[in-house]
């Protein structure tokens, strides 16, 4: 017998059906506190399924996909750092992109992406997708407000075409215990934040064009890292390609910065080679208690950047050995700066010769041209690092504010800090 639905009931059924659809006709997705990949969803779909405060838990395997996470307080966690692999196959742009507040990415490997392994950004396009600095940069009054909160820890980022780990227009972040190698620009990058309140700690950064780059990134603490075998170890600069210059209040304390003259790396865009730390147009930068050795051009290079002058630089208690030159102070004649002070031990080689106390410029240091490099995809893989001690599906909500460590008691580390394969 043919079933007839009364008109009123039919109307109610249609209304209920429409209530379950978004304005564009797409059914609403029921969000989950834990999304297991691949059991519950593909990696591509997981970001749209996870609820705010939830976890995306990724099982071991190689995933030739990307993950876009837009929710707040979301944790992306691999079950095993070295066997959960996101592989861009040299065709995809980014591995993990996070735009929400207080996002965490941990315990996995990202490799072979044309741009970034992990991008944590406070800038989105008209469709809500996370993006970073455009080719024309931003004026300070045009940049969007920064997005707070991020943690990237125990991530391995190998052979990515721009940055291994990239935090842009974000505040209150921690980047720790990661391995970043084979970046054709830099292994780790923090940019465009007037009050970054960021901690870069206990990372191994090797075989990149630049190891760590901070651009218009103020109030960042860099400590306990092993930064070796890059073309440039650490590059801190101010520029007009991003908002919020100059870079102010960066502290580089207690790191091993050594042998940054590796030829089997991508060429650095500015051609620099053999540099331990480069400070370009920075304000109130502190470089203290680092082991700075074996950098073939210069250990620490203080200079101008565009019309940004180096001001308030403080070097003290660093140990230098085997560098082409230990310290060069060479601001331009048009951006000389003031209050740049150097507490250097006897025997430290400098330009100008005999540099000590608080120096004035301008100065001259000629950087020797670097040798040709190799494609980022061809850079050798360094030894693996350990993953998280325990892995479960419990969410790890980040604090509203990162408390930066007290560096007053930090001393010069030993040469084997974070060296070699880790158990």
> What pLDDT does residue 291 have?
98
> What pLDDT does residue 280 have?
97
Helix (H, G, I), strand (E, B) or coil at 147: strand
Least confident of 138-142, 247-251, 370-374: 138-142
Q: What is the band of 367 on the pLDDT scale with cuts at 50, 70, 90?
A: confident
Q: Kindly state the average pLDDT of the residues 318-330.
A: 98
In the chain, the domains with their CATH numbers are 36-378 (2.160.20)
Give one DSSP letter per residue of 82-131, joined into a string. Answer: TTEEEE-TTT-SEEEEE-STTEEEEEEEEE--SSEEEEEESEE-TTS-EE
Report the alpha-carbon distance of residue 19 to residue 27 in Å, rounded. Answer: 9
> What pLDDT does residue 12 have?
37
pLDDT at 423 over 90: no
Q: Is this structure's pTM higher than 0.85? A: yes
Report the alpha-carbon distance of residue 82 to residue 156 in Å, rounded. Answer: 8
> What pLDDT does residue 142 have?
67
Least confident of 74-83, 278-287, 320-329, 362-371: 362-371
pLDDT at 124 over 80: yes
pLDDT at 215 over 60: yes
**Residue 163 CB neighbour total at 10 angstroms:** 30
Q: What is the band of 141 on the pLDDT scale with cuts at 50, 70, 90?
A: low
Q: What is the band of 3 on the pLDDT scale with cuts at 50, 70, 90?
A: very low
Report the alpha-carbon distance of residue 149 to residue 167 in Å, rounded. Answer: 10
Q: With beta carbons less than 8 A apart as the criterion, state whether 113 and 136 touch.
A: no
List the one residue out of 210, 328, 332, 207 whose CA is nearest residue 269: 210
- The fraction of the chain above a pLDDT of 90, given in percent, is 82
Q: Kindly state the average pLDDT of the residues 90-107.
A: 98
> What pLDDT does residue 397 have?
84
Residue of higher predicted confidence among 394 and 238: 238
Q: Kindly state the average pLDDT of the residues 129-139.
A: 66
Q: How far is CA 405 from CA 220, 223, 401, in A?
A: 11, 9, 13
List the one residue out of 136, 189, 138 whose CA is nearest residue 161: 189
Token pair for 371? 């040798």
> What pLDDT does residue 26 have?
58
Q: Kindly state the average pLDDT of the residues 50-59.
A: 97
């Amino acid at each position: 017998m043919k079933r007839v639905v009364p008109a009123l009931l039919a109307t109610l059924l249609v209304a209920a059906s429409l209530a379950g659809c978004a304005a564009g006709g797409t059914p609403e997705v029921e969000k989950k506190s834990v999304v297991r990949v691949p059991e519950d969803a593909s990696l591509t779909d997981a970001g749209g399924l996870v609820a705010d405060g939830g976890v995306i838990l990724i099982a071991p395997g190689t995933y030739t996909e990307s993950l876009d996470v837009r929710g707040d307080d979301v944790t992306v966690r691999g079950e095993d750092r070295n066997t959960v692999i996101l592989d861009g196959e040299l065709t995809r742009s980014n591995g993990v992109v996070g735009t929400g507040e207080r996002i965490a990415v941990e315990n996995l490997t990202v490799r072979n992406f044309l741009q970034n392994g992990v991008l944590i950004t406070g800038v989105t396009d008209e469709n809500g997708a996370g993006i970073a600095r455009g080719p024309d940069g931003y004026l300070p009054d045009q940049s969007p407000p920064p997005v707070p909160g991020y943690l990237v820890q125990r991530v391995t980022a190998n052979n990515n075409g721009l940055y291994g780990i990239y935090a842009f227009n974000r505040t209150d972040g921690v980047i720790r215990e990661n391995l970043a190698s084979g970046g054709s620009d830099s292994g780790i990058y923090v940019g465009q934040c007037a009050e970054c309140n960021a901690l870069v700690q206990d990372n191994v950064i090797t075989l990149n064009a630049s190891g760590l780059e901070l651009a218009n990134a103020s109030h960042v603490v860099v400590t306990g890292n092993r930064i070796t075998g890059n073309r440039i170890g650490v590059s801190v600069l101010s520029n007009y390609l991003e908002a919020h210059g100059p870079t102010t209040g960066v502290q580089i304390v207690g790191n091993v910065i050594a042998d940054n003259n590796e030829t089997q790396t991508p060429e650095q865009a500015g051609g620099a080679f053999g540099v331990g730390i480069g400070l370009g147009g920075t304000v109130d930068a502190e470089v203290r208690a680092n082991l700075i050795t074996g950098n073939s051009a210069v250990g620490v290079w203080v200079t101008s950047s565009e019309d940004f002058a180096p001001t308030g630089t403080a070097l003290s208690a660093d140990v230098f050995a085997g560098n082409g030159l230990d310290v060069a102070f060479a601001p331009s004649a048009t951006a000389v700066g003031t209050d740049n002070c150097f507490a250097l031990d006897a025997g430290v080689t400098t330009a100008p010769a005999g540099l000590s106390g608080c120096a004035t410029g301008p100065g001259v240091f000629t950087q020797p041209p670097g040798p040709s490099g190799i494609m980022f995809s061809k850079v050798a893989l360094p030894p693996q690092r350990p993953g998280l001690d325990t892995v479960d599906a419990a969410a790890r909500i980040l604090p509203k504010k990162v408390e930066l460590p007290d560096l007053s008691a930090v001393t010069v580390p030993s040469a084997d800090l974070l060296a070699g394969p880790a158990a």
